[in-house]
Structure 1
């Protein structure tokens, strides 16, 4: 150690004896350059009123982002991802106790890829040319002469407890298509040893239909819908949609829609059986469904 450190410890021992050898706080007695209380209050006020991050608050108040972050940390304000943007209150997270107690259902709409690849591979000019050459002739051009290639509709069902997912790429989102999808999804969950008790959807027209209501009622399943404009309530399947886009739909540059669809079943199998899920402590969804892993209990 340095001479000054040895001298300091020796001085403490001479003055206080053994008690002087205890560790002391390194916090300074005075902090003349600490952010003024008035500035701290302004930072907190902006955070609560507008729910901005440190960078935007810093630009508004003429401060350094690290200073704003330090103030927010000092007062224990939640991270923005833990805050409901609509109300400013901490997000209430929940998880059902058993598989099948609640299944989240939703539809994700994706634009089809033209043969040869779209603008993500070739740029706008070449991508537009491929789109024009391979557009769906049964669909009209809708916006400013742009080609309409049609859409794929991913119907998704995610178990709340295990995060086990069943998904299909279908041509539309009509009530007949949605009901047929759910019947296949229910068969999948049943084969996995899961008895579905309740289904949660948004307020899409197919989920408000009498056909959907009667199908679930005949199977003894309770149907719940989210409040309008509150997708957070159906957050588990919404998060699955985002994962699906990041890790499959836009994970690499596909050259045809067929190529992308052929990669989907393998990705879905990986998601259910091999991909670690952060909410499951790094384990895949199959680890919470004994029948899938062959471990009956």
Structure 2
């Protein structure tokens, strides 16, 4: 395949060569006409004289020989050891370096192998090329020892309640850079003015894993005592919707959720406190997805001139989410329709 930046195609090379051989034009003049170097003209003329028009086609850039490439017999041994013994690349590398038998010498006495000098990385690359670098590549789908990841499912309202905190920057009075534009005079004045370091707002949220009913409060910190108060109010909110008993509370490994006081409170008001595996937010995916909805549908959908205005918008949106917004997990019905109380009237907004 001709390179996209090549000045000549095979047809152009033939014209260039014939211009020198048939018309007698000097190589230097031909090179100037076709805007290539004189050695290039000499190269194609030599190939044409030796091979004819076939010599003007592109040749592969791969070397004719690769002295550093490992022999095919070693590749076959790597594949056989991986398929037969399911060893790691490091163990295969150690085995090849030590030499000896690949199988039981009592059954195959003639299969003794001399040590092979090979790099560990080379063994890993060949396993990847062969498509057998992982154990699941060696096991048929029907006999796969590793079961598919189980879905985290709640079986009744209150079975699993997911808690999380979303941290967002507070909005100064008069609006921040989203209102006035980044780098504008008003934005810089708001940044330098009194109370410019407005800090953060912590959106504490709780989502029932079965009904997807949600409760959110915008608070000033994420300390353990604040989280405990939020959980107590969450339990009251859920009880008003018929969820009187919370079986399991699922959280991440934040400091507020690892605090002893919070753990004791959860165990006193619920049956179990479960912290997800570290760096595995999908285990708390229901509330993580809820936080994403907050971002996409209320937090950054329009500009706000104050923090109070945004907190009010969050409260209105949560009310809409619970009582009006259809949810695919609830059969295109709002989450409140799947609670035991089946509350249809809209409750007042909360801060």
Pairwise TM-score range, normalised by the shorter structure: 0.5 to 0.7
Q: Which structure ranks higher in relative contact order (CA pairs < 8 Å, sequence separation ≥ 6)?
A: 1
**How far apart are the structure 1 equivalents of 2:336 and 2:150?**
25
The residue correspondences of 1:261-272 to structure 2 (distance < 5 A) are 261-272=311-322
SS in structure 2 of the partner of residue 98 of structure 1: coil
Coordinate RMSD, CA, aligned: 1.9
The residue correspondences of 1:271-282 to structure 2 (distance < 5 A) are 271-282=321-332
Which digits, 9 at most, give the CA deviation of each residue in 1:230-273, with x for residues without a partner?
Answer: 11100000000010111111121111111111222211110000
The residue correspondences of 1:196-235 to structure 2 (distance < 5 A) are 196-235=246-285
Instruction: Say which of 157, 167, 174 aligns to 1:116.
Output: 174
**How far apart are the structure 1 equivalents of 2:249 and 2:149?**
21
SS in structure 1 of the partner of residue 341 of structure 2: helix
Please name the residue that 2:233 is paired with: 184
Max radius of gyration: which structure?
2
For the 8 Å contact 2:157–2:340, the answer to whether it is kept is: no
Please name the residue that 1:161 is paired with: 210
Where does structure 1 lack aligned partners over 5 or more consecutive residues?
1-88, 137-147
**How far apart are the structure 1 equivalents of 2:310 and 2:269?**
34
**How far apart are the structure 2 equivalents of 1:91 and 1:269?**
34
For the 8 Å contact 1:114–1:134, the answer to whether it is kept is: no
What count of residue pairs does the alignment treat as equivalent? 196
For the 8 Å contact 1:134–1:149, the answer to whether it is kept is: no
Please name the residue that 2:119 is paired with: none
2:192 is the counterpart of 1:132: yes
Normalised TM-score (structure 1): 0.62
**How far apart are the structure 2 equivalents of 1:255 and 1:243?**
21
For the 8 Å contact 2:214–2:322, the answer to whether it is kept is: yes
For the 8 Å contact 1:115–1:134, the answer to whether it is kept is: no
Please name the residue that 2:163 is paired with: 105
SS in structure 2 of the partner of residue 168 of structure 1: strand
Superposition misfits of 4+ residues, deviation over 3 angstroms? 89-94
